[in-house]
Amino acid sequence: MSFEQLKLSNQFCFPVYAASRLITRVYQPHLDKLGITYPQYLVLMILWETDGVTVNEISQKLILNTNTVTPLLKRMESQGLITRKRSESDERKVIIQLTDKGKAMRLEAVTIPEKLVNGLNKAAITLEELIETRSKLNILIDFLREKEGQAESGKTEE
């Protein structure tokens, strides 16, 4: 038996993993100027889109557990980027809102995606190809999230 299926070069998951790590590295110099990490940047993007969301909503959008997101949010609060406040209607929920500093950072961050895309265009990847790749990855993510939900509820399909 040759075990071709176990060669790293034959895996689908490895190029996705490697691309994710390398993309994060490309972002990092831009985020360092803002004094934030990539996960913090993702949280800020959620809040720039819709301010005043719950920890649970952030966790769902980032596909992370709340016990992973909560320490991240605490650090962001200590940096003065967000506030965390219990919901008046439901004390179990914690509402996350941008501070003035967090809102102002949006103006500094607005050019980051364009810089990344311009760098990729130099590598002979067109904007259209990037959009198509993102679309296909979103389909894959949706499929995997559905499978994960089925596995957690004990409803796996063969």
| SS3 per residue for 141-157 | HHHHHHHHHHHHCCCCC
Is pTM, for the whole model, over 0.85? yes
* CATH 1.10.10.10 correct for 4-125: yes
Q: Indicate if the pLDDT at residue 156 is higher than 60.
A: no
- In the predicted structure, residue 158 carries a pLDDT above the cut 50: no
Chain segment 31-86, per-residue pLDDT in tens: 999 999 999 999 999 999 999 999 999 999 999 999 999 999 999 999 999 999 99
- For residues 46 and 53, the answer to whether their CB atoms sit within 8 Å is yes
